[in-house]
Amino acid sequence: MSLSASAPPDEAALDTLRAQVRGTVLVPDDEGYEEARTVWNAMIDARPAVVARVAGAADVMAAVAFAREHGLELAVRGGGHNVAGTAVADGGLVVDCSPMDSVRVDPDARRAWVEPGARIHDVDVETQAHDLAVPAGFVSTTGIAGLTLGGGFGYLSRKHGLTVDSLRSVELVTADGEFVRASEDEHSELFWALRGGGGNFGVVTAFEFDLHDLASPILAGPVAYHLDDAPAVLRELTAAVDAASDEVACLVAMRQAPPAPFLPDDVHGAPVLLVVLLYAGDVADGEDALAPLRAIGDPIADAVGPKPYAVFQTAFDEASAPGARNYWKAHYLPRLSDAAIDAMCGAAADIESPETTLGMMAMGGEIACRRADATPYQHRDAEWAVNIQSRWREADEDDEHVAWARDAFDALTPHATGGVYVNFISRDERERVHDAFDAETYERLAAVKAEWDPENAFHRNQNIEPAG
């Protein structure tokens, strides 16, 4: 399949594709095209030649075959939330899976079958109806497909592991249009690669997950501090998290205080430290488990309390809504050292945009209990995952906010592992794909890529080139 730009397919060819699919085929003059080409990150402004809004696996097979026949660059969209904007390609064909958003739960088998257009909220609502859950994410509008294929983590990961640690099988369409199922028993090497190797190996049309007990309400919420207190608070916090049970989740964010109702009016717009806590178990047990973390320092506000899990998962949706310009840099920390704390607090003090966040998540627990080679995800021994999320509105401010993120990244680099979470890589960081995997894992992924996509048709991703 040619990866070079080609002339748009003619109307007769498009009519043939329309006749082959149950979904909708859109071209630039069609109603709905502008919405279909728009992704979460407003820095991305690509104009595909064709958007195939697929309704099922057969549609995906037809769309992939059409792209191959007409020499169109392939892009695959699930939730469209990836910061690099890989879900759309100028002049190419987008396989838009967003209409495929069903979630089916078998509470007796404790399994869920999820289509690739589903968001985290879709999964949470269906599973929580049975007091079950999948460990996935912090923003409920994130697509489950991209999250999972990159490894996936969330509030429940210290208790239940990565999202891919609960994955039992996938169904997907390969580069040659073949429909296959992959699991530990079928195409096991492909299944291994799909659990952290990104969207390199095909278009997943269904995920099968194991589910875990999680009754609602859960005990969760943010504790807020003045940013000036952050160094002392973080030094105590790291020790408290180390001593906490695996049911305790901790997410840290440094930013300008949003106009949230739990914060005093006189703090809005001021730099703050938010420590977001969750206990993945009984609320009464959570009160005792979270008490040492809530007792740290002199908080401005403490909004920890019983909440429905699916509702709490939406708490940061507004802060991550589509329409803003976004640029990310990311690290893993082997530990939260004093020097790393000082570097982060110094960077946070220089934040200019009210939407920018310097955040990190406590790892460990069940994440670290799995073998390093069990999945391509390579960072199970890190204590903290850091995401430097620069976010703003005006294009003429791009240089300023990108520079801040890069400076913050550079300040943390001496204290980091050198690795990166594949889902946090921005579009100008192609070389960092190698930092997401060790050399042996990358070579193994490249061999799987060579078997299933030797011409690199699926390269609109954090790309792993085929071996040889």
pLDDT in tens, 155-166: 999 999 999 999
Give the predicted TM-score (pTM) of the model: 0.96
Q: Distance of CA 361 to CAs 266, 275, 349, Å?
A: 28, 10, 20
Per DSSP, the three-state class of 208 is: strand
pLDDT over 80 (residue 195):
yes
pLDDT over 90 (residue 257):
yes
- CA dist 44 and 426 (Å) reads 11
DSSP state of 212: E
Domains of the chain (ranges; CATH) run 11-96 (3.30.43.10), 103-214 (3.30.465.10), 218-430 (3.40.462.20)
What dihedral do alpha carbons 423, 426, 429, 432 form, nearest 10°? Answer: -20
pLDDT over 60 (residue 3):
no
Please give the mean pLDDT across all residues of the chain.
97
pLDDT at residue 8, as a whole number: 84
Phi, psi (rounded to 5 degrees) for 254: -115, 125
In 78-143, DSSP assigns E strands to 93-96, 103-106, 111-114, 132-133
pLDDT at residue 6, as a whole number: 63
pLDDT tens digits along 113-152: 999 999 999 999 999 999 999 999 899 999 999 999 999 9
Query: How many other C-beta atoms lie within 10 A of the C-beta of residue 121?
Result: 19
Per DSSP, the three-state class of 369 is: helix
Cis bond leading into 135, ω under 30°?
no
- CA dist 23 and 9 (Å) reads 18
pLDDT tens digits along 295-338: 999 999 999 999 999 999 999 999 999 999 999 999 999 999 99
Q: Is the dihedral of CA 326, 332, 336, 339 positive or negative?
A: negative
pLDDT over 70 (residue 1):
no
Average pLDDT over residues 81-99: 97
pLDDT tens digits along 349-375: 999 999 999 999 999 999 999 998 999
Average pLDDT over residues 408-424: 98
pLDDT tens digits along 182-193: 999 999 999 999
pLDDT over 90 (residue 5):
no
Average pLDDT over residues 235-263: 97
* Confidence band of 109 (pLDDT split at 50, 70, 90): very high
- Contact residues for 452 (Cβ-Cβ < 8 A; gap 6+): 174, 175, 190, 201, 202
- CA dist 51 and 372 (Å) reads 38
Residue with tokens 């620069």: 390
- CA dist 262 and 362 (Å) reads 23
How deeply is 210 buried, as exposed, middle or buried, from its count of CB atoms within 10 A (0-12, 13-18, 19+)? Answer: middle
Instruction: Name the strand (E) or helix (H) holding 83.
Output: none
Q: Is the dihedral of CA 258, 264, 266, 272 positive or negative?
A: negative
Average pLDDT over residues 380-405: 98
* Confidence band of 442 (pLDDT split at 50, 70, 90): very high
pLDDT at residue 248, as a whole number: 98
